[in-house]
Amino acid sequence: MALSTFALVSAACGSGSSSASSGSSASQAPSDITVGTLYSGSGSFADQSMPEYNGLKFWISHENSKGGVYVAAYKKRIPVKLVAYNDQSSPATAATLYDQLITQNKVNIFVADFGSVLTAPAATIAEEHHMLLFDQSGTGTNFFTPGNPYIVLADLPTSALWPKPLVAFLVKNKISKVALVYGSNDFDGSQDTTIVNGLKAAGITPVYNQAVPTTTSAYGTTISAIAATHPEAVVELGYANNDIAFLSNLQSSGTHFKMVFTVFPGQLQQLLEKNVGEAGMAYSYTYAAPPLISYNSVNLGMGTTAFEAAFQKQYPGPVNAPEVYGYHTGLTIQLALNHANSLSQLSLRSALMAESGKVTTLEGLFKLNSQGAQIGELLPVAQLMPTQGNANTSVQIVYPSSQATAKAVYPAP
């Protein structure tokens, strides 16, 4: 696995500086700030990881075009150097490479790969080495504990918060027969727990609730079992590959449900439609994630419109959510460096905690709880509406009403 050749600096770079550097005078400033991360160039997470990686690279390119990121500890801009390895979607490979970033490359900033599965080894290694982990999109709740100050969630709230608007939507519309199938990982399991608890609080018990392996690629038997319960809504919680398999199997089975909800169409719409097709996506529901939710009144980084225009010059095509996440991870790094009084890991963490609740970005309010988890954002419920004469669906927010761009179509035709 070769070291990424993407090392963006606007001045000549020396070797990576120590992660524990705490000097404050300009003469002691490192020649570059090294950001170390992994990406999945192949395997089951590649379609989600690579856009996120591109978003982070875009942030580095943008800051280096200005001479580097402003580092308050040295009162100057310092070029950013990226050190990245391909983990091939393997948690075991990721564990080895994460350790290498810290012990051999001695990066200043430690960033996880996409999602909870590939963040898990990073969280363990970061705590062991007392490195602050910039957790991009590993939203599993078990990463955030009172005794671990070495993690901060850069993008999205913890996954236990994601389904709260969905639960409210189901209850408001008196949809009481709900079937759930979820991947046996913390990302999906914590969502399932929130939904089950929320429904039970409203006097609703799911008619079906089953965990399946994260690697599941065939849902035919599961769909048959769900159909036997005659649900009014079906919620499948998985990663993009799971969503593709579930929606494809549902379409080929000829089974029709009044409501189908999956996780990733609102984040990777083009990928899902390419693999499932417009017909298989029509009238299904999902979470609406940035840039579907637009924020242009910001006080850190670019707003949604400006970001999309700038990003598309470097990476042509529609902007998706993981690309926003990667850029926003960069903004979180920038926020820490802009305010920390040293490059020590706890100083970076303290700076982020001090700025929590004061910053609005293209993802909304940046707000952390005491354990470093993001709590400033909720994901509205969206529905994929067919568009006449267009091969693609239109993602419309249907709940809550304060953010709605369309009225939900229920039951699905």
Q: In sequence order, what DSSP letters do the residues of 85-97 get, joined into one string?
A: EE-TT-HHHHHHH
Side chain identity, residue 396:
Q
Place of tokens 């075991």: 92
Please give the pLDDT value at position 389. Answer: 60
- Helix (H) / strand (E) containing 278: helix 278-281
Please give the pLDDT value at position 376. Answer: 84
Longest dimension (CA), the chain: 71
- pLDDT tens digits, 35-87: 999 999 999 999 999 999 999 999 999 999 999 999 999 999 999 999 999 99
| 353 found inside a domain | yes
Mean pLDDT of the chain: 92
Cα–Cα distance, 72 to 69 (Å, whole number): 10
263 in the same domain as 360:
no
Cα–Cα distance, 338 to 353 (Å, whole number): 13
Burial class (CB in 10 A: 0-12, 13-18, 19+), 309: exposed
| 16 found inside a domain | no
Query: CB of 232 within 8 A of CB of 259?
Result: yes
Compute the CA torsion angle 140, 146, 150, 155 (nearest 10 deg).
40
Please give the pLDDT value at position 391. Answer: 60
Is residue 9's pLDDT more than 90? Answer: no
236 in the same domain as 251:
yes
Is residue 289's pLDDT more than 60? Answer: yes
| 133 found inside a domain | yes
Please give the pLDDT value at position 319. Answer: 96
269 in the same domain as 129:
no
| 348 found inside a domain | yes
279 in the same domain as 324:
no
Task: Give the pairing type, strands 69-71 and 178-183.
Answer: unpaired
Query: CB of 288 within 8 A of CB of 268?
Result: no
385 in the same domain as 323:
no
**With bands split at pLDDT 50, 70 and 90, how would you rate the model's confidence at 258?**
very high
| 132 found inside a domain | yes
337 in the same domain as 350:
yes
User: How many separate domains does the chain show?
Assistant: 2
Is residue 227's pLDDT more than 80? Answer: yes
- Tokens describing residue 371: 């354990």
- Tokens describing residue 120: 């898990």
Cα-only R_g, the chain: 21
Cα–Cα distance, 199 to 181 (Å, whole number): 15
Please give the pLDDT value at position 14. Answer: 33
What mean pLDDT is predicted for residues 85-100? 98
Instruction: Output phi, psi for 374, to 5 deg.
Output: -75, 130
Please give the pLDDT value at position 387. Answer: 82
| 12 found inside a domain | no
Peptide bond into 291 cis (omega under 30): yes
Is residue 16's pLDDT more than 80? Answer: no
**With bands split at pLDDT 50, 70 and 90, how would you rate the model's confidence at 99?**
very high
351 in the same domain as 203:
no
What mean pLDDT is predicted for residues 27-33? 89
Report the CATH number at residue 183.
Answer: 3.40.50.2300
- Tokens describing residue 140: 């599993």
Burial class (CB in 10 A: 0-12, 13-18, 19+), 258: middle
| 9 found inside a domain | no
**With bands split at pLDDT 50, 70 and 90, how would you rate the model's confidence at 377?**
confident
SS3 279: helix
Is residue 26's pLDDT more than 90? Answer: no
275 in the same domain as 192:
yes
What mean pLDDT is predicted for residues 127-153? 95
143 in the same domain as 32:
yes
317 in the same domain as 384:
no
264: nearest Cα among 145, 361, 365, 183: 183
What mean pLDDT is predicted for residues 139-162? 94
Specify the pTM.
0.87
What mean pLDDT is predicted for residues 347-365? 97
Determine the structural domain holding residue 95 and report its residue range.
26-156+293-366
SS3 68: coil
H-only helix segments in 106-236? 115-129, 164-172, 186-201, 220-227
327 in the same domain as 360:
yes
Cα–Cα distance, 308 to 50 (Å, whole number): 17
35 in the same domain as 125:
yes
Please give the pLDDT value at position 237. Answer: 98
Cα–Cα distance, 93 to 85 (Å, whole number): 10
Cα–Cα distance, 257 to 408 (Å, whole number): 15
| 323 found inside a domain | yes
- Helix (H) / strand (E) containing 382: strand 381-385
What mean pLDDT is predicted for residues 103-130? 97
What mean pLDDT is predicted for residues 168-195? 96
Cα–Cα distance, 261 to 247 (Å, whole number): 10
Percent of the chain, pLDDT > 90?
Answer: 88
Cβ-based neighbour number of residue 244 at 10 Å = 23
SS3 335: helix
Residue 382 pairs in a beta bridge with: 286, 397
Is residue 12's pLDDT more than 60? Answer: no
